[in-house]
Each structure stands twice: as structure tokens, then as C-alpha cells.
Amino acid sequence: MKPRCSRFDSCPFHQLRLKIRKMTTTTPQLKKTTDLQDERAARDLAIYNEYNALAAVKGQSKTQITKYLMEKYNIHSNGTIYAIRKKVEERLNGNGGVA
């Protein structure tokens, strides 16, 4: 684009035209998850990390770890803890799962 006026930097017409071009060429970044999904992902990651930290202790019962986490996070099924751990593990390994 060739400037029509000699004072291109101070010309209000050209400055406005540049602003409009910049506004139309950039796309807004939309959020891909809802607030509830973000909260659940954070909770799931906390459960995964805490389970692994507790399971690293030699001789610790996995059943007791699961019961403790169920009570702490108000989860009513030990299968849910297992599903959460597997889902987070897949997401961290890059094998799929929801962000």
C-alpha cells in the first residue's frame, strides 16, 4: 500500500485505516472449556497427584488410599477414582482425553 499523503505517520485517515486493518486481521482467542470443566480438570489432577504421592509410600494399601480420596473429595464410588486416574494419565501422556 502506497501512502497518498506525504505525512503518512501523522495522517489521521491512514492511522485509522491501519487500526481497522489490525482489528480485522486478528482473531479473538476463545475459551475452549467451561469453568466447570476447568474446575473438574483441576480436581482430577489433584486426585491423580495425591494418589501417586500416597502410593509411593512402601507398604501403603491402595484400597485405603482410594477410600481416603473418596472421603476427601466426596466421591461415592471407588471406580470413579480409578476412572479419574486413568483419564488424567491418558491426558498427561498425550494419548487423548479432553483438555
Predicted pLDDT of residue 99: 46
Please enumerate in sequence order all residues whose Cβ is within 8 A of that of 47, keeping only pairs 6 or more positions apart, or say none: 69, 73, 81, 84, 85, 88
Question: Is 11 within a domain?
Answer: no
Total number of domains constituting the chain: 1
Question: Is 16 within a domain?
Answer: no
pLDDT tens column, 37-93? 999 999 999 999 999 999 999 999 999 999 999 999 999 999 999 999 999 999 999
Interaxial angle between packed helices 78-93 and 62-72, expressed in degrees from 0 to 180 and rounded to the nearest 10 = 90
Find the domain containing 55 and state its range. Answer: 35-93
Predicted pLDDT of residue 9: 66
The CA–CA distances, whole Å, from 25 to 8, 11, 17, 77 equal 21, 21, 12, 50
